[in-house]
Structure formats: structure tokens, C-alpha cells
Amino acid sequence: MRRKAFARTGVEVPVIGQGTWDAPESGPRMAQAKRALLRGIELGMTHIDSAEMYGAGRVEALVGETIAALDRTRLFLTTKVLPSNATYKGTIAAAERSLRRLGTDYVDLYLLHWPSEHPLEDTMRALETLVEQGKARFVGVSNFDTAEMLEAASYVRAVPLACNQVLYHVHERGPEHALIPTARDRGIAIVAYTPFGRRRFARDAEEGGALDTVARKHGATVRQVILAFLTRAENVFTIPKAAQLAHVEENAGAGDLVLDAGDVARIDAAFPRGKPGPLATL
């Protein structure tokens, strides 16, 4: 699994991580999801993303149970505070609840899930406090457009803004216009969630289509090509969710796939960026 520098944090993170949004919260499917998460870690996908919103905390608990017996230092664990909790005190309290559910003393990355009605400066000050207390190593935001990201970065001084997690896939390439290059210039990592989008890729993957052609050339799958395409920029990572072993293994197979200029040009022509517009979110 290829790893690269996570912005200016001084650590390297796998290009492909594991998301947990909408993970099964009970029964046989939950057990299967835990096995899949562990298999992903075995394959080098050690960046695990969660949030207090997911299952009202139950998904964080699932992650905590899954990683309980593992070497914590091998993992890069991310979670997020809900905007409704994002006052100064509320952010710290939310982080402490998340830590209890995750069964750990610290997270590697703590994010504001999306812009809040509470003063952003207060939220970012709370994130800095969590770093000072040793409860988070790095801080960031999620679903912030370029201007919002730069504003958030202006409020943190003791630690840099490490990350902005956004919706990014071949049908939603808006982040490429300004967000990704601005983040690169400021030393901020972009983490793409929902990298396969919400629509079926059957038409895109048809024989002779751009994705299929590139996949055949590399002996890869269409999904692996998509992940490699999205993470081609030096500051972009992705966190596909997979609750089944086969899907996890397929995702991990993209970790060492590097597309050449011709591959990128072919996909670029098939899935044009379009005009700049507002940041898309789910």
C-alpha cells in the first residue's frame, strides 16, 4: 500500500483508507463489517474514518471494538464533531465522548464535520486545545469550500490545519478547480469521501469505455482505476467504505496503482471537470 505525506503533519498516511459511514450496527452484517475493517488494516489501509454522527455514536463503538486488540500506533484514526456540538466546550465534550466510544486516549485527526452556526474561531480554538491536551494529534474540517477552509486555517496557530474532507468522485470533480490546488499550496491534505459516487458505474465501465480501457491496460478493476485517478494529486487521499471482504480487498488493490499521463487524459476527457461551482456535499 503506497503511503505519502499527509500535508505538513510529518506523518505518512496510506493513499487509500477506510470509511465507516452507514456501516451496519448490529447482527451478522456488523460482524462481517468488523472482519472487513480488520482485513483492510492487514492490507495497509490503516487510516480509519468515523464520526459521532454515524449511527449516533454506534459506528464509533464498532470501530473501537474492532481495533481494541491492535497496536494503536499502527492506525491513523479520524473522527468528527457535529456542527450542533461545535461550541468551544461542546467540541471538547464531544471529543471526549468519541474517545470513550473508540476506546482510545487520542485520535490522530479530529474534524468539524461541516460548517456550523457556532463561531468558527471558537471551534478551531477548541480543536487546538484538544491537541494541547493530547486528545488529538491533528485537526481539520470537512465539507468546507475554499474560502471557508482558508478562514478555518487562519484561526489555528499552535497547530496547522491538516485536512479538509470533501465529496470527490469522477462525476463530481469540482474540488479540482480551486480547492485541491489551494489546499496543496497551503499544505492541507484533501480526503475524498464517497469516491464512487451515489450512481451506478455500469455505463461508465462498459467494454471500451474510458475506465474499462484503462483498467484492462493495468490488469485492474474499474473501481481501482477510479481510486488511483482520484488520488493522483500529491495532497489527495480517499476513504472508500466497504463492509465486505471482497470489496475491501479490491479497494486495497488500488494502493499501488499509478496511472500514466495518457490514462489520466483519457479519463479526463470522459469525465470533464465542468465549470467551477459550489462545493457539493451529501
Tell me how far apart the alpha carbons of residues 42 and 59 are, in angstroms, rounded to a whole number.
20
Q: What is the pLDDT of residue 202?
A: 47
Residue extents of the structural domains in the chain: 10-198+235-245
pLDDT at residue number 243 = 86
Could you write out the three-class secondary structure of 72-88?
A: HHHCEEEEEECHHHCCH
Q: Give how far Cα 73 sits from Cα of 50, 90, 133, Å.
A: 17, 27, 18
Question: What pTM did the predictor assign?
Answer: 0.95
For position 22, what pLDDT does the model report?
86
Question: What is the structure's pLDDT at 204?
Answer: 57
Q: Which residues contact 82 (CB under 8 A, 6 or more apart)?
A: 51, 52, 53, 94, 113
Give the pLDDT of residue 208: 67
Please give the DSSP secondary-structure letter assigned to residue 261: H
Following CA atoms 167, 173, 174, 179 in sequence, which dihedral angle do they give, to the nearest 10 degrees? 70
Is the domain spanning 10-198+235-245 CATH 3.40.630.30? The answer is no
CA-to-CA separations, 61 to 52, 98, 102, 206, in angstroms, rounded: 10, 8, 5, 39
Note whether 169 and 226 are within 8 A (CB). yes
Identify the pLDDT of residue 32: 93
Mean pLDDT in consecutive groups of 10 residues from the start of the chain, 282 residues: 94 98 84 96 98 96 97 98 98 98 98 98 98 98 98 95 97 96 98 87 64 97 97 98 94 97 97 79 68
